[in-house]
Amino acid sequence: MGCKEDKKVVKTEVVSFTKEGELSIYKGETDSLITRLDIEIASTSYETQTGLMYRNSMKDNQAMLFIFEEPAYHSFYMKNTRFSIDIIFIDDQLRIASFKERAKPMDENGLSSEVPVQYVLEVNAGLAETWQLEIGDRISYLESK
């Protein structure tokens, strides 16, 4: 009788995008539409803690919207996030208050909102620049039923 090691294969589940609504971004001064995105919404404690972790990518027309109960200072990090993103901090009036561009994958340093915000939008890296986003631009969103 011999001792034999069982080979255990650990499968990691692929986390894919789930469309839960649509979001539009408008120029603050002119109200002209900048872009429209499909959004996945993070509103529970678990969803806001995991965010885009364990995903390999996201399409340019997709984003994750974090919704908090009330305005507060929020800090995000890139732990277990495998691709670079822009993090857009949005106040309770749905206006862009600040943003961090090209957050580095897997970086555990906190990226702070710098001001109290109620929403945070994560998009692919470089899109804030491509869209020429500015503080004061605004968003609107609709959750799917």
Contact 105, 82 (CB under 8 A): yes
User: Which one is predicted more confidently, 10 or 27?
Assistant: 27
What's the CATH class of domain 21-143? mainly beta
Q: Does the predicted model carry a pTM greater than 0.85?
A: yes
| Percentage of the chain modeled with pLDDT above 90 | 88
To the nearest whole number, what is the mean pLDDT of the chain? 92
DSSP class of 136: T
| Percentage of the chain modeled with pLDDT above 70 | 90
Closest alpha carbon to 37 in 57, 64, 16, 61: 61
DSSP class of 2: -
The answer on pLDDT for 9 being more than 90 is no
The answer on pLDDT for 51 being more than 70 is yes
Please report, for the chain, the start and end positions of each structural domain, with discontinuous segments joined by +: 21-143
- Name the pLDDT band for 1 (thresholds 50, 70, 90): very low
Q: Distance (Å, rounded) from C-alpha 136 to C-alpha 66? A: 19
